[in-house]
Amino acid sequence: MPVLKEKRPLEHKLSPVAAHDSRNLKLGDGSQVAVIGGGPAGSFFSYFLLDMAASIGMDVHVDIYEPQDFSRYGPAGCNHCGGIISESLVQILATEGINIPPTVVQRGIDSYVLHMDVGSVKIETPLRENRIAAIHRGAGPLGTKEAEWSSFDRFLQQLSQDMGAQIIKDYVDSISFDDGRPVVETRQGLSKKYDLVVGSVGLNTSGAKLFEALGTGYESPMSTKTFICEFHLGHDIVQKYFGNSMHVLLLNIPRLKFAALIPKGSHVTLCLLGEKIDKKFVPDFLNSPYVRACFPPDLDLSQGYCCQCFPEIYVERSTKPFADRVVLVGDCAVSRLYKDGIGAAYTTGKAAASTAVLEGISSEDFKRHYWPACKDINNDNTFGKVIFAITRQIQKRRSAKRGVLRMVSKEQSKEKNSKRMSVVLWDTFTGSAPYRDIFLRTLHPSFLSNFIWGTVIETWPFHKR
Amino acid sequence: MGKSALGTLYNDGDAIVSEGEPGDSMYVIQSGTVVLHRHKEGKEVFLAELGERDFFGEMTIFEREARSATVRAKGEVHVLTVDKKTLLSRIQKDPSLAFRLLEKMSSRIRKMDAHLTRIKGSDRRNWDTRPETFDGFGS
């Protein structure tokens, strides 16, 4: 199990601004907003804040503090993530008028292949449409020679800049309160007083400590380590071995929850999720014959990756990610369990922006109008934990895995067949639906009876496979 | 620079939706142009031309009527399908998501009003010779 910090209760604590009247804290013409961190959550917040402010005729200024240049290659420009934009988020962004450009989408994913040690099966979406976007957060992994693709984070940052946000490429050293208003001080000596400070500092920076030090009661979320690496195979080999399919590996390897291979332009990204994933674990996983079978036979997997990292991934929500004139969004507040972190960045960024523009910027405003969006995600994660616990039990049982494989193969064999298991697996591993919806679908009598029947048949000693 | 568009690729002349068929999704154009037509007395009447980031088919999201127009690709087009269920469940959680749809539909009603005014203000004898075009239609 990952080492998790003890949670404190959610009661409100007295913040340094509590002495000031917080009943009428609102943004207005000329208000100054600081966003600490220019990743997806910060960019979404800035974009929607400026959009909503403009729609009601309010003139607000937004500074985004982000020292990282997302147009750079390797770790310098990367926010360390698998790089999948879920099917539901792609649709919602398109409805918002945000089309992810083809220069950012390295591959549109239309199917996935489930690999287990009892066999593999390809699962296609009913529409067979490229609705999942495989992207790189920065300009590309280490070793990238020229700008082949554009960065997703840079694209979002540009959207907020087009709306009027200003990027300040500087590290924030401290945040403090002066006369009830937050003051941001940077490494290069800039000191500026704001009406609202927004934390979008993720899990892999020390930014959360700046907000914990404010004494507003904020505590960063619990997290665990994951492993991500990039294999540079070239476009043709990626197309030949992976196509437009994401590969999900549910193998009975101790400590492994699941692994995913995500094809991109000329790279394939490997994401490992489990308990205590470390440098010793990775070679064991790569040497598995089921993993090797996904790649060209002559490729030395242990030497084949050009870029790697062990980023923290969200496990359990933060404590009180808001106060008077302060709100935190994205991973550093709440995120979806193991999946769709960018979807959570969109949800929390937009909810915080609409609260700030339409309701107010006091702790009470954020508690009433922003916190419910965070709680929704967190409550949904409870169902996610149950789903992944069940998945782990299936991983350990050969007959259950055969039952799953049998059910999916049958569903995929004919167009008209009901696709209950296929859809459950698709939504679980692509993050395309709330975990609650997925869980409720598994309780359907038809799903349960088919799965139990398939598992029983597979345990029958005279059954021919 | 590499390119890989989302959605489904349609070639010139391909029908993306057809008038009269049932529908449970709307469409957002990722790249390219589409043309909306409606059948009247055996002829295809041109309604509108839509481009990147425009959407069509949103009327079936809010009502249960069949498609009101045929939409064809003009050249190569990438179109993303937005499921009715996905959209409505998100609108329930975040009603502001419907703002853009309302904005677009409101702009179409405004154009329709202007078009109607032009027709009513003109000589009735010239109606039949007028090209029947109206650039605001949600199919």
Q: What is the pLDDT of residue B123?
A: 56
What ipTM score was computed for the predicted complex, to two decimals? 0.84
Span B3-26, average pLDDT: 90
Domain-located, residue B46: yes
**pLDDT tens by residue, A64-123:** 999 998 888 888 778 888 899 999 999 999 999 999 999 999 999 989 899 998 889 998
**pLDDT tens by residue, A350-369:** 999 999 999 999 999 999 99
Q: What 8-state DSSP symbol labels residue A106?
A: S
Q: What is the pLDDT of residue A8?
A: 42
Span B90-111, average pLDDT: 88
Q: How far apart are the C-alpha atoms of A19 and A34, rounded to whole Å?
A: 22
Q: What 8-state DSSP symbol labels residue A417?
A: S
Residues B2, A106: C-beta atoms closer than 8 Å: yes
Least-confidence region, from A178-182, A272-276, A378-382, A448-452 = A272-276
Q: What is the pLDDT of residue A76?
A: 78
Q: What is the pLDDT of residue B125?
A: 53
Contact A388, A338 (CB under 8 A): yes
Contact A67, A169 (CB under 8 A): yes
Contact A231, A306 (CB under 8 A): yes
Q: What percent of chain A has pLDDT over 70?
A: 93
Span A328-335, average pLDDT: 95
Span A313-342, average pLDDT: 93
Range picked from A223-232, A345-354, B54-63, B123-132 for highest mean pLDDT: A345-354
Residues A131, B80: C-beta atoms closer than 8 Å: yes
Q: In sequence order, which residues have a C-beta less than 8 Å from that of residue B25 and are 6 or more positions away?
A: B57, B60, B61, B81, B82, B83, B84
Q: Strand, helix or coil at B105?
A: helix
Q: What is the pLDDT of residue A23?
A: 64
Q: Which residues of A touch B105 (CB under 8 A)?
A: none
Q: What is the mean pLDDT of chain A?
A: 88
Q: What is the pLDDT of residue A58?
A: 96
Contact A66, A202 (CB under 8 A): no
Q: What is the pLDDT of residue A1?
A: 41
Domain-located, residue B63: yes
Q: What is the pLDDT of residue A5?
A: 41
**DSSP per-residue codes, A216-268:** SS-BPPEEEE-EEEEEE--HHHHHHHTTTEEEEEE---TTEEEEEEEE-SSEE
Is the pLDDT at A10 greater than 70, yes or no?
no
Q: What is the pLDDT of residue B114?
A: 86
> HEC string of A207-219?
HHHHHHCCCCCCE
Q: What is the pLDDT of residue A17?
A: 46
Q: How far is B124 from chain A (nearest CA, A)?
A: 40
**Residue span of the structural domain in which B85 resides:** 8-119
Residue at token pair 């940077």: A186
In A338-446, the DSSP E strands lie at: none
Q: What is the pLDDT of residue A95?
A: 93
Is the pLDDT at B130 greater than 60, yes or no?
no
Q: What is the CATH number of the domain that holds B107?
A: 2.60.120.10
Span A327-355, average pLDDT: 95
- Mutation for A interface: B1, B3, B6, B94, most A CBs within 10 A: B6
Q: What percent of chain A has pLDDT over 90?
A: 57
Contact A427, A433 (CB under 8 A): yes
Q: Which residues of B touch A88 (CB under 8 A)?
A: 86, 90
| B 4-63 → A contacts, CB under 8 A | 4-8, 28, 30-31, 52-53, 55
Q: What 8-state DSSP symbol labels residue A6?
A: P
Is the pLDDT at A371 greater than 90, yes or no?
yes
Q: How far apart are the C-alpha atoms of B16 and A354, rounded to whole Å?
A: 35
Residues B86, A91: C-beta atoms closer than 8 Å: yes
Residues A105, B53: C-beta atoms closer than 8 Å: no
Q: What is the pLDDT of residue B108?
A: 84
Tokens of B80: 């993303």
- Mutation for B interface: A87, A95, A435, most B CBs within 10 A: A95
Span B32-60, average pLDDT: 89
Helix-, strand-, coil-residue percentages of chain B, each rounded to 5 = 30, 35, 35
Q: How far is B88 from chain A (nearest CA, A)?
A: 10
Q: Which residue among B3, B6, B52 places its CB closest to the CB of A90?
A: B6
Domain-located, residue B135: no
B88 touches chain A (CB under 8 A): no
Q: What is the pLDDT of residue B127?
A: 53
Q: What is the pLDDT of residue B128?
A: 52
Q: What is the pLDDT of residue A453?
A: 86
Domain-located, residue B130: no
Residues on A contacting B at a C-beta cutoff of 8 Å: 52, 55, 88, 90-92, 94-97, 99-100, 102-103, 105-108, 127, 129-131, 133, 147-150, 265, 347, 350-351, 354, 373, 376
Span A285-301, average pLDDT: 89
Residue at token pair 């449409």: A129
Q: Which residue among B2, B8, B31 places its CB closest to the CB of A148?
A: B2
In A1-92, the DSSP E strands lie at: 32-36, 61-65, 84-85
**pLDDT tens by residue, A230-286:** 998 988 999 999 999 999 998 888 888 889 999 998 899 999 988 888 888 888 888
Q: What is the pLDDT of residue A81?
A: 83
- Domains and their CATH numbers in chain A: 32-70+151-220+317-382 (3.50.50.60), 111-142+227-310 (no CATH), 397-459 (no CATH)
Q: What is the pLDDT of residue A72?
A: 83
Q: With bands split at pLDDT 50, 70 and 90, how would you rate the model's confidence at A22? A: low
**pLDDT tens by residue, A115-153:** 998 889 998 876 778 889 999 998 888 877 666 788 999
Q: Which residues of B touch A108 (CB under 8 A)?
A: 4-7
Domain-located, residue B114: yes
What is the total count of domains within chain B? Answer: 1
Q: With bands split at pLDDT 50, 70 and 90, how would you rate the model's confidence at B43? A: confident
Q: Which residue among A133, A350, A351 places its CB closest to the CB of B6?
A: A133
Q: Which residue among A95, A102, A130 places its CB closest to the CB of B82?
A: A95
